[in-house]
């Protein structure tokens, strides 16, 4: 069995190190540093074409939601926005794929065009309920049909 060596840790040193670590953490501003680094990488192009932010789509997204609701959502509904953005991106992705397919196979032109149409239609349909979903403040009246009514129905 190996003998374990106990290394003493002087108390003052411990305290000093902990304090310095806290101060270093404050000075580090880690989140900002990470953001900066990631944005730099985006600019340099290390992500390739995964993210395309042509100004047009960005403006479209803004106009759909409205800038204010976007800020509100930042605090609470980050996930929703994520999903929406993902759908948006996916929509572009899917569209790109469809286009490239179209160009490649001229023989299957008929089949591909119909496929791409259905795909883009499906994506558009998926994207359309998304913005209405985020407009939460408006009250929606839902009528549900329950089989055996267990709760009192208020007219």
Partner 1 sequence: MAPRSKPKPGEPSSSDAATPLLPERCIDHKNKNIRKEKWRELRLQKNKEKREARKKRQKVREELGKDAPPVLQPHTIETLRIPDVTTVQPDDLETQQADRLDEFGGYFGREAAPRVLLTAGDFPSPKTRDFMKELALVIPNTEVRLRNFSSVKKTARVAAAKGYTDLIFINEDKSKKVMANGLLHVHLPDGPSALYRLSNVKLSAEMRRIKEFTHHRPEVVLNNFTTMLGHRVGRMLASLFHFDPEFKGRRVMTLHNQRDYIFFRHHRYEFKNEKKCALRELGPRFTLKLRSLQKGTFDSKTGEYEWIRKRHEMEDSRRKFHL
Cα–Cα distance measured from residue 67 to residue 74, given in angstroms and rounded to the nearest whole number? 11
Q: Which of positions 13-32 make contact with partner 1 (CB under 8 A)? A: 13, 17-18, 20-21, 23-25, 27-28, 30-31
By the rule CB under 8 A, 97 interacts with partner 1: no
Question: Nearest-5° angle of CA 20, CA 37, CA 48?
Answer: 155
Residue 93 · residue 57 · CB < 8 Å: no
Cα–Cα distance measured from residue 22 to residue 80, given in angstroms and rounded to the nearest whole number? 34
Closer residue to partner 1 in complex, CB, 47/109 = 47
Cα–Cα distance measured from residue 47 to residue 70, given in angstroms and rounded to the nearest whole number? 25
By the rule CB under 8 A, 76 interacts with partner 1: no
Pick the binder of partner 1 from 15, 34, 71, 114 (CB under 8 A). Answer: 34
Interface ranges with partner 1 (CB under 8 A)? 1-2, 5, 13, 17-18, 20-21, 23-25, 27-28, 30-31, 33-35, 37-39, 42-43, 47-48, 50-51, 53, 58, 74, 78, 82, 85
């Amino acid at each position: 069995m190996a003998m374990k060596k106990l290394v003493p840790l002087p108390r003052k040193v411990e305290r000093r190190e902990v304090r310095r670590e806290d101060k270093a953490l404050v000075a580090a501003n880690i989140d900002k540093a990470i953001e900066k680094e990631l944005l730099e990488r985006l600019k340099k192009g290390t992500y390739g074409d995964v993210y395309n932010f042509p100004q047009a789509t960005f403006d479209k997204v803004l106009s759909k939601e409205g800038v204010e609701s976007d800020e509100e959502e930042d605090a609470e509904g980050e996930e929703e926005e994520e999903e929406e953005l993902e759908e948006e991106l996916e929509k572009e992705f899917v569209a790109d794929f469809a286009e490239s397919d179209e160009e490649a196979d001229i023989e299957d032109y008929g089949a591909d065009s119909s496929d791409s149409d259905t795909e883009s239609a499906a994506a558009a349909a998926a994207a359309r309920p998304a913005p209405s979903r985020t407009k939460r403040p408006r009250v929606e009246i839902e009528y549900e049909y329950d089989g055996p009514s267990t709760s009192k129905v208020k007219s």
